[in-house]
Amino acid sequence: MRIIGFKNYEEMSQASAQLMKQTILENQTANICLASGGSPERTYQIFSEIVQDLDLTSLKITKLDEWCDVDPDSEYSCEKYLKERVILPLKLKDHQFIRFSPMSDDYVSECENVHTALMENPIDLCILGFGKNGHLGLNEPHEFLQPFAHVAELSQTTRHHAMIETNPHIIKGMTIGLAEIMASKKVLLQVSGEGKKEIFERFMSKKLDPYLPASFLWMHPNVEVYVREDQFQL
């Protein structure tokens, strides 16, 4: 694991976007898995600007997770978040976007479809945020963790996520599993945001803990952790 500190959010975002671009330069058929939320937002804005001159016709984007029972056009959906920031600005086609449908009548089948797609299109770069409870995607703290894409019960911490805190009916989500994240050729974990100091210190202890899913990234052979030094001490 390579841990790199950056002075602020902008520097972290610039470096993250450059890493995404480099992934495409090395492999035009790359599959990049994207998280939603505040941490990567500026990254995606920069990325969408600096790859406009590249051939993106074979690029694939995988949506890391999605809330269940949310309208895809809702401001709360991960679908809308990624479409507005990446899919539409880059004019990617529907077949280039691997994702869970938030309004599906069969969430289990949605997860099976995503798992099948990832078997055929393994993730080259997985962009992850560092959640306040140490979750990865919606792989929540629990006595055991799921290897493949699945429907997850949201923890109380996640139910207060900024994207859904005004929607108490949202209690489940769909997410790719730990094995699918670990199968990524490279992982970028962004550590940014308030209220995460204690959980980051636990992460830095290097102890594998199912109640801190992010800790399992210590087992991955190719992880970069980008940390905001204006918020966290290395």
Catalytic residues: 65, 133, 135, 140
Say how far apart CA 182 and CA 184 lie, in whole Å.
5
Element (H, E) at 14: helix 9-26
Given a contact cutoff of 8 angstroms between Cβ atoms, the answer to whether 49 and 85 are in contact is: no
Say how far apart CA 59 and CA 142 lie, in whole Å.
34
Strand ranges (E), the chain: 2-6, 31-34, 60-63, 65-67, 97-98, 125-129, 150-153, 172-175, 186-191, 223-228
Q: CA 6 from chain center: how many Å? A: 20
HSE, side-chain direction, 13 A CA sphere, residue 156: 0
Helix (H, G, I), strand (E, B) or coil at 43: helix
